[in-house]
Chains A and B, each alone.
Chain A
């Protein structure tokens, strides 16, 4: 059973389209994340939800909208796709044992490669 699963694994689309990436975790974790990995492998956090509440929202264009219907799911919807959105998007989850702790381990999904033409 995959702990953190993302769909689709690959997504090729035209500029201007709207697309979604779905993420589900079966670990019982209370916190989920979206990270973006660019072509140089640099990873940057985009969003984080704790128990369906948005807690981290980095400087991301408002074309990106996360949605967490329950604590096991965190989906990413992207409007009006641009060439620069091409990247690998990783979902991750963790159990936050305390808001003061930075020691908790993240479990990552396998990634969703988005290519905008």
Chain B
């Protein structure tokens, strides 16, 4: 079935370090791919998205490229800040499915000064 696999956390980094959070997916058809972020005590917010192969989504210094050949959508940021500490969710949106999003298990990121 359709699914999303993310690297397990927590990921602990020092400020200004490089971040990669791996995400791979299994899906029939051509899904859209998303990264959502959940800050402590809040709901999820869209961070970025990509709707077709080779698209790159970017926002707030974060980037992810939709790689169909490796079924991946890894999240990267060149220099993290303490304020980036949150839980990051990779998700896929299925066409024909009324926006049913399938989420990965989430990866907690903790950034220390």
Contacts and interface: CB of A to CB of B under 8 A. Distances in A.
Interface string A1-16: 0001000000000000
A111 B32 CA distance: 25
Given A43-B89, A45-B100, A45-B101, A102 B95 contact: yes
Interface in A93-117: 94, 96, 99-106, 108-111
Contacts of A102: 31-32, 92-97, 99-100
**What range describes how many residues of A lie at the interface?**
20 to 34
A67 to B, nearest CB: 18
A108 B45 contact: yes
Contacts of A108: 36, 43-45
Interface in B58-102: 87, 89, 92-102
Interface residues of B, number: 30
Interface of B: 31-32, 34, 36, 38, 41-46, 49, 51, 87, 89, 92-103, 105-106, 108
B106 A56 contact: no
A106 B99 contact: yes
Contacts of B89: 43
Interface of A: 4, 31, 33, 40-45, 48, 50, 55-56, 90, 92, 94, 96, 99-106, 108-111
A45 B92 CA distance: 13
A41 B105 contact: yes
B101 to A, nearest CB: 6
Contact of B49 (A48, A90, A103): A103
A43 B43 contact: no
